[in-house]
Amino acid sequence: MSAPSPIAIVGGGPAGALAAAQLAKEGRRVLLFDEKLAWEKPCGGGVTHKALQRYPFLAEAGNESSRIEQNSIEQNPPDYNLPALNLVDHCELISPAGKRARFRLQHPVAIFSRLALNGLLLERARRASADIHKERITRIERADNQNEDDWHLTTPDGDYRASYVILAAGARNPFRQQFLSPISASDLMVTAGYFIPGRSSLMQIQFLKGITGYIWVFPRADHVSAGIAGKMGETSTAELRRVLEKWLEENGFRLDEARFYSHILPSFRAQTFETLEVSGEGWSMIGDSAGLVDPITGEGLYYALRSAELCAHALLVERPEQYRAQLKDEILPELKLAASLSQRFYRGQIFGDSILERMVALTAQSASIRDLMSDLFAGNQGYQDLRARLYRILPSALAEGLMNLGHTFGWRSATS
């Protein structure tokens, strides 16, 4: 009897590469296709403490001297003398009106070059014996007689057969409409950014008036990824780029040797998550392909990795339908809640001012709010119990704010 056809994975970003590694490690035959292999995908590259704890080999990339070994799978080998990541433990939030709150992160955020991160994950897949091809998939077809070998994948260099297809082709997934309806513009963000040579140890987030999104400055080992995101249809890429360039100039960044980037980012509405489909007979979607990105923060790397892990596990136990069920249990409630909070977070008012202004002011004034922020950046504080924690700490946070105001004006407490 001939061996079963392999599982084909379309896309070798974090989602596809991790799924390939996990399946191949357990002896499954895996064909992984990526048109570029490791590349500097437009991204901040920020990986939370929660993700580093779940995938400790990522944190180890900061220590290894060899980091990513020279191998044949990288398009542009990274500088092997540089660490793949930069651990950043200071953050500055800037309100739309320009108020600043700087604080220490209890758990640093690891900021990766995507070239290095993708290279590292692809290398793990290769070592686990996944068969990696630098080819672009141009067509995916299913044979009429639905049997084990029923997927046919075409590239400019050849044809391949597979028993199962995992789509991990990112936000621009060209095959999505073949399996599901395409992502609506209302479920996307546009981004524009620059890779700027230089070093920094401070992560910055600037919230903006009239834009559902923010500017970020994420310092990597030898450069900074600075960018801006906004809802598609609300602000054009050209306008976002203009706002970003002005901000960078005003904040001391030089763009002479910087490299521009732009990309789309899934930012699903709550109703889209409500009816989300991620798999069918013989196929699954993982990572950005499936829209698994936090609509408030734009964090997608954790969800790309976790969805890959869940999908691979479901295939390994021969229960592909388990992937969808586990996603619905573990990931979708959090993303759906973020989607329903997003507009209020960016556009809402509280006590006569915007939520963003209040949030930055409270962060500057209150240690308990700074602890909360630190947990949010670490990925340790979810949205589901955020409200309860806020109710718990808000009275003391407001009191801290009043005390600080008192100190500013030289007031003394009754006991002093």
Give the interface with ligand FAD as residue ranges (CB under 6 A): 10-16, 33-36, 41-46, 136-137, 168-170, 174, 191, 193, 218, 227, 263, 265, 287-289, 293, 298-302, 304
Beta carbon of residue 409, minimum distance to ligand FAD (angstroms, whole number)? 40
Q: Which residues are CB-contacts of 404 (< 8 A; sequence separation ≥ 6)?
A: 365
Name the residue nearer to ligand FAD (CB basis): 166 or 372: 166
Taking only Cα atoms into account, the Rg of the chain, rounded to an integer number of angstroms, comes to: 23
C-alpha–C-alpha distance, residues 73 and 254, integer Å: 33
Beta bridge partners, 139, equal 154
Report in angstroms how near the CB of residue 70 gets to ligand FAD at its nearest: 20
Half-sphere exposure of 240 (CA within 13 A, CB side): 30
What would the DSSP string read from start to end of 33-79?
E-SSSB---SS--EE-HHHHHHSHHHHHTTT-SS-S---TTBSS---
| Residue 168 vs 359, nearer CB to ligand FAD | 168
Q: 319: helix, coil or strand? A: coil
Give the span between the Cα atoms of 400 and 164, in whole angstroms. 57
Closest separation in Å from C-beta 330 to ligand FAD: 17
Task: Between 179 and 218, name the residue whose CB sits nearer to ligand FAD.
Answer: 218
Q: How far is the CB of 97 from ligand FAD (least distance, A)?
A: 25
Between residues 40 and 357, which has the closer beta carbon with respect to ligand FAD? 40
Q: Which is nearer to ligand FAD, 6 or 287 (CB)?
A: 287
Q: In angstroms, what is the minimal distance from the CB of 236 to ligand FAD?
A: 16
- Smallest gap, in angstroms, from Cβ of residue 203 to ligand FAD? 10
Q: How far is the CB of 105 from ligand FAD (least distance, A)?
A: 14
93-to-219, 363, 401 alpha-carbon distances in Å: 15, 8, 17
Phi, psi of 33, deg, nearest 5: -115, 130
Minimal distance in Å, beta carbon 286 to ligand FAD? 6
Which residue is listed with tokens 């910087």? Answer: 258
| Residue whose CB is less far from ligand FAD, 123 or 288 | 288
Which is closer to ligand FAD, CB of 136 or CB of 328? 136
3-state secondary structure of 236: coil
Q: Is-contact 40 95, C-beta < 8 A?
A: no
In the complex with ligand FAD, the residue whose CB is nearer, 157 or 353, is 157
The rounded distance, in Å, linking the Cα atoms of 110 and 113 is 10
**Order of strands, edge to edge, in the sheet holding 139-142?**
139-142, 151-155, 158-162
- 90, β-bridge pairs: 104, 202
From the CB of 304, what's the least distance to ligand FAD, in Å?
4
What is residue 358's three-state secondary structure?
helix
Instruction: State both tokens at 11.
Output: 């896309």
DSSP string of 214-230, one letter each residue = EEEEEE-SSEEEEEEEE
User: Nearest residue by C-beta to ligand FAD?
Assistant: 300
Cβ-based nearer residue to ligand FAD, 313 or 358? 313
